[in-house]
A and B are shown apart, each in its own frame.
Chain A
Amino acid sequence: MSALCLWMTGCVKDSVLFVTTTTIGIDADTRPPNATIGYDRYEGYIGPTYSTGAIPPVFAKIESDLAIFNPEIRQLYATGEAARLVTMPKAHLPAKPPSDGKMFTDSGRVMLFGTGANIGLRVTFAGNMPESLSLGYKRKEFSYIPLGSEEDPTELDPNDPTKKRKVDKYGSVLAVMDMGVHTETFSTTGLGVTQFFATGDAANNLAFSDYIRRQFALEAEEALTRYKCTFKPDEATSKLRQAIKDKPEFAKEVDAAAGELGVSRPFLLNCDIYANRRNDLVGKIPQS
């Protein structure tokens, strides 16, 4: 990739290169010799920066439980307007998805956008010998997009005030990988993969959709915090349950303790990590 980046640096003023690569599991290659076990991710970006401080927008996000077998992974990759849309607070979204502009004949230039994903086991051979091995999840996302240009309706050209000033425009691409164990119902439980790949206005439309915004919890207020622990009820759990049953007013004290921890009563009563808190509450059980 570094050779490609060096090659691109020559034309960095009018194009943007954005690359991510992710490995979860075991990845080994003989050329060049390297091996990775666990989580490995690179994100790279080469593009222009403007006199105003502006930088062409890109966005990449990964969520994973990092399990080597049956991993749950959500990955989002977006550039241009699509990157703006997926990161924009819902209240600021326009009424309809914006367009990347018209595709005037003879004004086209070559762009590159690609993704590659490998799930499970992949072995390549050189002769009879394995050359590379990948076990788990491996994904690469790559785009090289020349910048376009459009008139800014709010600014006059300082060199020719009869014309509007031109501004660079970064095209939209969007790639989504959503993979994991789905457990909505017993009949639909299983490993599923959803994958999107879109460019231009199609990418903007997808970035605008509620599905993408919900799935990736792109807004802080939409994100649910998850508290995790091991189910390990103990003797204190039994005593507290009995006390709540015998003296319903004691439930208020248990709920207040759960509220202080920011969790529910069942979580406080059954989590291994709250054993000490439960023992404190046992000492407060009213004696009749």
Chain B
Amino acid sequence: MHEEELKDITGDQLPDLIKDYVAADAVKFEITRVSDNNWTLVATVPVAGAVPHP
């Protein structure tokens, strides 16, 4: 497992990104609101690329 941190996400982009990470078998999320419309997402995902759900 490793963590991937994405910064500068806007609120409207966040749901789709979370869905992508769920499909990528992420086991944990940390979502931080940096300011009104600026979020940071940290996802813990399997190492060496994720295997998406069919």
How many A-B contacts are there with CB distance less than 8 Å?
87
A259 touches B30 (CB 8 A): no
30 contacts between A and B (CB under 8 A): A183-B31, A189-B33, A224-B2, A224-B3, A224-B44, A225-B3, A227-B4, A227-B5, A228-B4, A228-B5, A228-B7, A229-B5, A231-B6, A231-B7, A231-B13, A231-B41, A232-B8, A255-B50, A261-B49, A262-B2, A262-B48, A263-B4, A264-B24, A265-B24, A265-B49, A266-B4, A266-B43, A266-B50, A267-B4, A270-B6
A8 contacts B by Cβ under 8 Å: no
A226 contacts B by Cβ under 8 Å: yes
User: In chain B between 3 and 26, which residues have their CB closer than 8 angstroms to a CB of chain A?
Assistant: 3-9, 13, 17, 20-21, 24, 26
Q: How large is the interface on A (under 10, 10 to 19, 20 to 34, 35 or more residues)?
A: 20 to 34
- Measured CA separation A284–B49 after assembly (Å): 19
Within the complex, which residue of B5, B20, B51 is in contact with A266, where a contact is CB–CB below 8 Å? B20
Spell out A's residues near B (CB within 8 Å).
181, 183-184, 189, 224-233, 251, 255-256, 258-267, 269-271
B33 to chain A: which residues have CB within 8 Å?
A: 189
Do A269 and B20 contact each other (CB < 8 Å), given the known contacts A226-B2, A226-B3, A262-B47? yes
B31 touches A271 (CB 8 A): no
B24 to chain A: which residues have CB within 8 Å?
A: 264-266
B26 to chain A: which residues have CB within 8 Å?
A: 264
| B50 → A minimal CB distance (Å) | 4
**Nearest B residue to A271 by beta-carbon distance?**
B6
| B10 → A minimal CB distance (Å) | 8
| B38 → A minimal CB distance (Å) | 10
Sample of 8 more A-B contacts, CB < 8 Å, known A224-B1, A229-B6, A264-B26: A189-B33, A227-B2, A231-B6, A231-B13, A258-B50, A262-B49, A264-B45, A266-B50
